[in-house]
Structure formats: structure tokens, C-alpha cells
Amino acid sequence: MLSIDPKSIKPVDLHQYLLACVAPRPIAFVSTMDAEGRPNLAPYSFFNAFSSNPPVLVFSSNRKASDNTTKDTLHNVRETGELVVNAVSFSMARQMALASVEYPPEINEFEKAGFTPLASSLVRPYRVAESPAQLECRVREIITLGDQGGAGHLIICDVVMLHINENVLDERGRVDPHKIDLVGRMGRFYYARASGEAVYNIEQRVDRFGMGFDQLPAGIRHSRVLTGNHLAQLAALPQPPDADAIAAIGEDPRMAAIRNAAHPLDELHRLVQMELAKEDVATAACMAWWGEVALGNQ
Ligand SMILES: Cc1cc2nc3c(=O)[nH]c(=O)nc-3n(C[C@H](O)[C@H](O)[C@H](O)COP(=O)(O)O)c2cc1C
């Protein structure tokens, strides 16, 4: 295990470790205006939602490591207190990256990166028409974290209006992750696309207690086949399967075949894996507990 005291390495290296370990990060594509009404657009991935009632977003505009200067977005929100956070979908990601180039304040990144400005309802900065979700915000507070290159300014924002493109909603009016197709920032030049096979469900019930790892019999818990993810599926059940259900699974022809395998318990746990992959946790549990009774630690 590599253990790093942040004071012992160069800030630029620390920055990269942080970016790689805190990832993927959502991207706030921040639209602002200066006091003279000139538009500005830049991506910020030190960003997240921190409260839904009241709705509050926070992003950080950092001092540049190269020359310790601060950024146009920070100057604009200090001057005007208004911004729009636009979500970034895969279809607009390269244009977003183009808008991150450090153009001078008088340059309009909407024009440079080919985005369409759309009037907002309650704030002066434009929305990005191509973005599937646009959040109009007012600045609540700005917290300065330091005065050296890399130091952040936390820009804490109240969301005053949300706009979501109907095209990314499912039939129940919920945002469909595959349709909104967001991208996240990772370390260096890595990005993640949050749709398709990258998106999956963990249906953890929170209305009942799972029995927990400590209730798993040793042969299951120390399986050579089942991973922590598999064990967590079993440990999320409220209790072990009952004796009748365990006995019934013993009649399954697959159980008889397992007895002749070179490593019956491993073979059984592979079957358990297959049932867990199908989300049939009840059958998987009966098989796993049957193994404890019928196979011991073979
Ligand atoms: C995907 C992405 C995420 C970024 N996130 C941040 C960030 O969280 N904080 C930051 O200070 N700069 C970040 N940057 C760099 C800024 O976008 C860049 O410095 C930009 O030129 C700032 O523009 P501005 O001066 O118009 O605000 C990011 C760049 C990219 C491409």
C-alpha cells in the first residue's frame, strides 16, 4: 500500500493522485457573465450536489498551479452572484473540453466551442442549449481555501430553477441514465461515460436489516470463489434460508453432480455465483447453505 503524506510530495503530483482517487467526478459546465454582460463558459469537476432541501450545489475554482492566478468564472460570480450549471452529456463532451482552454476574459467560449446560448428564466447568464439539464443558480457563499497555486474557492450555490430536456425522461417522468448519458471526469485525460453497460443496479433494501457478514457460515464466508460483492448479496437477506428450503434444493440434479467434482464446494459456489448474477438470491442462498450441510469444507 502506497501511503502518502500530502506535505511530502509536490502539489502538482498530489493534485493528480487526488483526481485519480476521487473519480469519476460529475462536471459542472458553468455559464457566467461579467458585470459588462460578457458571457463565459468553463467546466468544473470539483463539483457536486450537497443538499436537496434547500437545493445547494458546490464547485471549486482553483488558483492556477502555473502562475497562482484565479479564473474568470470566480471573478464573474464574485461580481454578479449568478450562474448556470449545465450537465455534460457524451454528445457534447469534446466541445466542453474545448471550452476549458484558458481563453482571455473577453472571449466568448459559447462561440469558441460551438454551443448555443439560451436565455435563462431567473438569472442573466445563458444556459447551454445542447445540455440535457440546466440549473440556474445564485451564489450563497464563497469560501477561500488558500492563497497558493492549486488552492480552491468553494462556490456554494442555491439552485433557483431546473430545466430538464423531456428527451432524457422515461415514461414515468424520471431521468433515464442511458438517455441523459452523462460523462464524468477522472484523472489526467480520462473520462467515464455513465450509460450502457457501465450503469447497473444495486437494489439494497433499506426497510429491513440484512443478516450481515457475521451470520454467514465459515465455508461461505471464506469461499475461494465468492467475492465480497457475492457475499454482500447473501448477507443482505434478513435470515438464512429455512431447513426445508435447504433440503429441497438438495433434490436439484445439479447438486448430485457437484458431489463428483474435484472441488465440490468451489463448483457449488460457481453455481451460487450464477444464481446471484440472475438476482435469484433466495435460490443462491439455499444452494450455499446446502453446501455447508452436505459438503462441509470439501
Ligand atoms: C472536465 C474539466 C474539469 C475541470 N474542473 C476544474 C475544477 O474543478 N476546478 C478548476 O479550477 N478548474 C477546472 N478545470 C479547468 C478549467 O476549466 C479551466 O482552467 C478554464 O479555463 C477556466 O475557465 P475560466 O477562467 O473561464 O473560469 C477543468 C477542466 C476540465 C476540462
Whether residue 167 sits in one domain with residue 289 = no
- Domain-ending residue, one of 149, 166, 198: 198
Whether residue 269 sits in one domain with residue 144 = no
Whether residue 218 sits in one domain with residue 193 = no
Whether residue 248 sits in one domain with residue 192 = no
Q: What is the CATH number of the domain that holds 156?
A: 2.30.110.10
Whether residue 154 sits in one domain with residue 12 = yes
Pocket mutation for ligand 1, best pick of 12, 32, 40, 44 (most atoms within 8 Å of C-beta): 44
- Domain-ending residue, one of 135, 170, 198: 198
Whether residue 181 sits in one domain with residue 55 = yes
CA-to-CA distance for 118 and 129, rounded, in angstroms?
A: 6
Whether residue 272 sits in one domain with residue 173 = no
Q: Are 242 and 290 in contact (CB under 8 A)?
A: no
Residue 205 maps to a domain: no
Pocket mutation for ligand 1, best pick of 60, 100, 142 (most atoms within 8 Å of C-beta): 100
Residue 206 maps to a domain: no
Whether residue 172 sits in one domain with residue 143 = yes
Whether residue 231 sits in one domain with residue 181 = no
Whether residue 237 sits in one domain with residue 162 = no
- Domain-ending residue, one of 171, 198, 225: 198
Give the residue numbers spanning the domain of 79.
6-198
For residue 259, the model assigns a pLDDT of 87
**pLDDT tens digits, 62-115:** 999 889 999 999 999 999 999 999 999 999 999 999 999 999 988 999 999 999
User: Which residues partner with 172 through β-bridges?
Assistant: none
Residue 76 maps to a domain: yes
For residue 296, the model assigns a pLDDT of 73
Beta strand pairing status for 133-144 and 82-86? Answer: antiparallel
Residue 190 maps to a domain: yes
Whether residue 145 sits in one domain with residue 25 = yes
Give the number of domains in the chain: 2
Whether residue 91 sits in one domain with residue 48 = yes
For residue 3, the model assigns a pLDDT of 97
CA-to-CA distance for 235 and 216, rounded, in angstroms?
A: 7
For residue 182, the model assigns a pLDDT of 98
Q: Is the peptide bond before 24 cis (omega within 30 degrees of 0)?
A: yes
Give which of 117, 99, 119, 101 is closest to 109, Cα–Cα: 99
- What is the whole-number distance in angstroms between the Cα of residue 54 and the centre of ligand 1? 26
Q: Whose CA is nearest to atom 20 of ligand 1?
A: 100
Residue 46 maps to a domain: yes
For residue 298, the model assigns a pLDDT of 58
- What is the whole-number distance in angstroms between the Cα of residue 163 and the centre of ligand 1? 23
Residue 207 maps to a domain: no
Residue 57 maps to a domain: yes
* pTM of this structure: 0.94
Residues of the chain short of pLDDT 70, as ranges, are: 297-298
Residue 204 maps to a domain: no
**Helices 281-294, 264-277: inter-axial angle, 10-degree rounding:** 170
